[in-house]
Amino acid sequence: MSTSLFGLRRAAFALACSSALVLSAHALSPATPEPRPTQALLVRGDHLELNGKPFVPVSGELHYARIPREDWRARLKMARAMGLNTIATYVFWNVHEPEAGKFNFSGNADLAEFLREAQQEGLYVMLRVGPYSCAEWEFGGFPAWLLRDPKVGLTLRSDDPAFLVPAERWLTRLGKEVGPLQIGRGGPVIAAQVENEYGNFGGDAVYMEKLHQIFLKAGFTDSLLYTANPSRTIAKGSIPGVFATVNFGISHADVGLDALAALRPGAPLFAAEYWPGWFDHWGEPHQTRTVEPQIADIKYILGRGAGVNIYMFHGGTSFGMMAGSSWIGNKFLPDVTSYDYDAPLDEAGRPTAKFFAYRDAIAKATGVTPPPVPPAPASMAVPAFTLNDSVSLWKGLPKPVVSATPKYMEEIGQSYGFILYRKQLTGPTQGELVLNGLNDYALVYLNGRLLGALDRTDKQDRLTIHSDAAAAQLDILVENSGRINSTREIRHESKGLAGVTLAGKPLEDWSIYSLPMAPDSIIDAPGVPVEAHFAAGVKADNAPAFYRGSFTLNAPKGKPVADTFLDIADIGKGVVWLNGHPLGRVWNVGPQRTLYVPGVWMHAGKNEVVVLDLLHRDHAPKLAGLAEPIIDAPTRRSTAAPDENVGLNGKP
C-alpha cells in the first residue's frame, strides 16, 4: 500500500465521521460525465467522493425488522461505537405490503423513522431495496400473496409483467416513503441496491435493466444505485453503467476484490457483504467463525482503499414466523428463529469480543477514534413458571373452506402459520397415504389419534393407515416452516398440500381450516376465539394444544425491564408469544434452546406467555428466563411420536 493511498483512505474516513449529514444533491451515475452538485456520493475514477471529497464507506448491516423499534437507537449507537460511518439494511417487501396494495410503514415497519434515527446518530445508510432480499428471511422478502397466481410464482425475478407490475407498484410506493431521505435531498441514504445477488439466480440482462429503470422512475435518483453479487457471479448480476460491488466470506478478500477489479478496471472497490459469521438450521450445529482471519481481512480491505459492509454487524431475531429456509444439496433446511449470526453485536445488542477486535482494527486502519462504547443492555433471569392452562387446537377452529381438492395456503389467502386438511372417510380403510407437494411438516391423525409426522427435510411424504371402522376422520395438520429464501426453488414455495392419495386413489371433498396464528388473536379467522376455551390442566385428547401461563416482575413501573432468554427445552415444536408479541418458532431438535425476549416487550407485574406445541405431552410445560442465551445446544432430528396406544399404521 502506498503512502498516498493510506493518507487518502484516512482522510476519507475522517471526513465521513466529522461531516454533518444534512446534505443535498442530484442523481448519481458512474457513467454520467456532466458536473454534479458536490453534496452527493459519486464515483470519481478509482474512488468514491462524498460532498466532493474522497469517501470510504465502513459499514455494518442490521435489519430494523429484526430489532424492536424501541431498541433501534441503542443498536445504532453501538454501530458508531465500533467505528462505522455507515449502516446497511434490507427493505423486506413482505413486511411493508402484507396484502396486495395494502402498505404498512408504521410501528416496527416505520422505515423512515429508522433512517432518521441513523442520521441523528451520525450514520449514512446503504438501502438494500431489492425487491428481492434473501437474508434468511421468509421467502427472501417477497410477499406470499405473489404465489396466489401460479403464473406469478413461476416468473419471480424475471421481466414478465406478472412479476414486474406488482414489483413496480411496491417500488413506487417505497420511493415515496424514502425518497426525501436520500442524500440528495438532505437525508442519510447514500446508496440504494438494485436486486440482490441476481448472478446466483440468473443472467437476464433485460430484466435487470427494466428493474433499473423502475428504480429511476420511482425516484431513486438522489442516491448511488448499485448491484451486489458474489465474486463468481458478478458479471451475470451487474448492470452496465451501475456501480458494481462484491460479496465474499472469510479469507476470500483478495479473490473477491480481484474479481471486482477485473470486471470494472479502475473503478472503486467495495465489499457489499463481508461475512463474519453464518446462520443456523434446525437440527444442525450452531455456526461460528473465528475472529483472527476476519481482522486480517478487514485490514486488507481497508488497506487496499476499498469500502466494506460487514454482514452482519448485528443479526437480531427473525421474530414470529419470518425465518426463512435454505435449499442446499437438494435438501430443505428451515432456519432457526435466532439470527445471531455470530456477529460482532450479539442477538440482544451486546458487544462481543469480536466487536472489540473489529473496533480496534477499524480505528487503526482509519486513524479515527470511535465514540465510547455504550453500556451493554442488561439481562436477567426469570424463575421457572408453569403453563397451567391449556386448550386443544381443535377447539378454536374457524369456518372451513370446502374444496374438492386440497389447496395451498396462498390459494385461500393465507401467508404464514398452519393449515388443517380434514376428510371424512367411509368404510374400512387401508393403504399408503401419500401427501403430494408437502410443504413443510405434517402431523397425520385418524379419528383423533396421531399416526405420525412427515417432514420435508427428511423427504418424508407417506405412511400406511388402517381402520376397520365404518367411518373415520382424517386430519392432516401442515406447518409452513418458512419459505425458501434463495435459489430457483423460491418459484415453487407454496405451502400446504397439493393433493392426497390413499391406496393410489386421489382423496376428494376436503374441509380446509386456515390457521395463520396472528400475534394478536392467535388464530386470525372467524370462529370462536381460542381464549374462550382455556382451562386449567392438560388436555388428553392427543392433539396439538395451546398452553398459557405467566410470570410476575417486581420491577418499578415505568422503569426499563432487562432482556431475558426464554428456555423452551420443555416445548416440542411450535410457536411462542409473550404479551401478544410473537417471539418465534421453537423445535426440540436444536441448536436453539432459548428465545430472545426484549425487555421492552415486558413490564412490571404480570407477563403472559402462550405456546402452541404441536407434539403430544402428558404434563404442563415449564419455562424459565435465563440471563444468557443457549443457541448452541446439541442437535438431533426428531419427529412426533405416535399415540402409545396406536401403531404407526393407525391400528389399535
Are 179 and 222 spatial neighbours (Cβ–Cβ below 8 Å)? yes
Extract the C-alpha cell encoding 509: 371433498
Residue 97 known to be catalytic: no
Catalytic residue of the set 273, 347, 410, 493? 273
Catalytic residue of the set 197, 410, 479, 493? 197
Are 623 and 609 spatial neighbours (Cβ–Cβ below 8 Å)? yes
Query: What's CA 371's distance to the chain center, in Å?
Result: 30
Residues whose CB is less than 8 angstroms from the CB of residue 363 and which lie 6 or more positions away in sequence, other chains included: 83, 369, 370
Distance CA 454, CA 413 (A): 24
Extract the C-alpha cell encoding 241: 453503467
Burial environment of residue 93 by CB neighbours within 10 A (0 to 12, 13 to 18, 19 or more) = buried
CA distances from 315 to 173, 360, 409 (A): 27, 21, 29
Strands 270-274 and 243-248: parallel
Residue 197 known to be catalytic: yes
Which residue has 406488482 as its cell numbers?
166
Q: What letter represents residue 279's amino acid?
A: F
- φ, ψ of residue 393 to 5 degrees: the values are -60, -30
Full DSSP string of 480-539? ----B-SSGGGGG---B-SEEEETTEE---EEEEEE---TTTSS-SSS--GGGG-EES--
Measured from the Cβ of residue 99, the count of other Cβ atoms closer than 10 Å reads: 12
Q: Which residues are tagged catalytic?
A: 197, 273
